[in-house]
Chain A
């Protein structure tokens, strides 16, 4: 009994529970026919939200007001530029990846420069930045759709031992994020800053350096996700990141990370990402129209939040 009680107090358990319920409700309808396919599709599509969600989670952990709205634009720019550079050539995969990472670093630096130098609230700074990034992406892309190199296209769409490759990448990134968050001084620092920035500063924590690193980390993860998504979907499109703006925030919060900052967890991102994909596929399976599907998605998100509840202060 104590084990269950302890488990139910974990903030991430609710998202896993919800994901499982939805998964079960879907295979009940299909009669278990497509259980494996559904699980595989869920892992594949959830992988992209997991990667951007982890970046967003680090930023949100920094405390109230910290959020990165430039995620979708960064994804688009990284995807477009990398594919343009690789130009269907398998030998250019590594340079393409490096360019994507460099774009991420540049965006992160730009974001934090605006926040720090101009004292603009992060939500507006990253929003203005995303306008500029988006324009750059339109300018470089010009509506061309370049195919990814064949090796990358195969790699991102196939699976190893039944697990989609992109999910494996997401797992590696998650383990890294978990290690950073729980086992390193950097992870302690961002939690401390999220709980109280003045206190963190007085404790001698390098607040600016830590926040800077976090915004860069988030932007790099977004550009990685853009790189993978562009290869997965057979080319970069200008609107390919748009749904990840709300998605990256939603998975963080449904996953049980405190919006007020200072308390985050990696497993919740997985549960929430799987849940978000499974809800849509469940409603699709039921054959509902687009309008009903949207309304149901919204109501389900709100009910999960209501059930998981606002955490009472003092409990973890």
Chain B
């Protein structure tokens, strides 16, 4: 046993370290956060963000980018707070349809060789419009089961932590361990070689987009479970948050290099950064700016670590 660490583990080191440091800082500033209720409050809103981040990660693993994530989660939230509560069957059909649309998008982008940024940009208008049609003003009500699921109180560890770990494990199994996950990352890494090996790129991309759609739907439902009502603009910031979460978690834009566990940690870090700043009593003017600064610091750390890694290899 020598000190050789796998590249994947190293990829996780920095996100995990930054989350730990941030968490320690929060506990130091506000010791009362170190409790069941405190932890739950800190990480509550991270659950939908983590799900959306996994969805974005799936899209990024086939070298695309989804700029409609925020509006899509908002749309799902609106469906959840209206149809899924009042007419569950119709609601489920609508959401299934939305996931199918995602699959079709993945195929169309590939077949017509279109830029994913633009197609999803166009779709973001469509989802936003549909959300406004469903709920012109904030309202609706969360289905009881979604509410119950998000407020359940498991013993010892709060729901937010349990849910985050569950999401990380499921995503890890799907993306890193299943043959579908390997194919999806393969398409991101080298599309041509996957094709030559006899696999269908079309089917793989449809699956990647469809899976992303499913995770994004779960994000919308989880969000409504927390907020109890919905609004057409409820999750607009998820687009940028989800991209930042994937990158923070060690994922990359091209080459199918992603890390599901890292993505969940990235989402948790981003959520915690917000709480940390309010504990620091930073003037609200600078809160957004400080969030940007935290992002930069974490990425700078990652660069440092990579330098060390290269030096170690050179020896």
* Chain B interface residue bracket vs A: 35 or more
Return chain A residues, CB-CB under 8 Å to B117.
249, 253, 259
CB–CB A124/B129 < 8 A: no
Q: 1/0 per position for B225-249, CB-CB distance to A under 8 A?
A: 0000000000000001001100100
Segment among B170-178, B199-207, B283-291 that sits at the interface with chain A: B283-291
Q: Cβ of A135 and Cβ of B122 under 8 Å apart? A: no
Interface residues of B in 206-264 (CB under 8 A from A): 240, 243-244, 247, 252-254
Question: Of the 9-residue stretches A39-47, A170-178, A291-299, which lies at the interface with chain B?
Answer: A291-299
Are the CB atoms of B296 and A118 closer together than 8 Å?
yes
C-alpha spacing A86/B78, complex, angstroms? 45
Within 8 A of B (CB), among A108-158: 114, 118-121, 123-125, 127-132, 134-136, 138-139
- Main secondary structure on chain B at its contact with chain A? helix
Given contacts A310-B114, A311-B113, contact A298 B122 (CB under 8 A): yes
- In the complex, whether A246 has a CB less than 8 A from a CB of chain B is yes
Contacts of A134 in B (CB 8 A): 288-289
CA distance A294 to B136 in the complex (A): 13
Chain B residues with CB under 8 Å of A294's CB are: 125-126, 128-129, 132
Closest Cβ neighbor of B248 among chain A residues: A124
The answer to whether B126 and A139 touch across the interface, beta carbons within 8 angstroms, is no
Any chain B CB within 8 A of the CB of A65?
Answer: yes
**B299 and A120 within 8 A (CB):** yes
From 68 to 110 in chain A, residues with beta carbon under 8 angstroms from any chain B beta carbon are 69
Residue B182 lies at the interface, judged by CB distance under 8 Å to chain A: no
Asked if A306 lies at the interface with its beta carbon under 8 angstroms from chain B, I say yes
Report the minimum CB–CB distance from B96 to chain A (whole Å): 19
A254 lies within 8 A of chain B by Cβ: yes
Q: Is A302 an interface residue (CB 8 A)?
A: yes
Hey, which chain A residues are within 8 Å of B122, CB to CB?
298-299, 301-302, 305
Chain B contacts to A: CB under 8 angstroms:
67, 108, 112-115, 117-119, 121-133, 136, 240, 243-244, 247, 252-254, 285-293, 295-296, 299-300, 303
Q: Which 4 A-B pairs have the closest CB atoms?
A: A135-B289, A131-B292, A310-B113, A294-B129
> Could you list some 17 contacts between A and B, CB below 8 A?
A65-B254, A123-B243, A123-B253, A124-B295, A130-B292, A131-B295, A135-B288, A249-B117, A253-B115, A259-B115, A293-B129, A294-B125, A295-B129, A297-B129, A298-B123, A298-B125, A301-B121
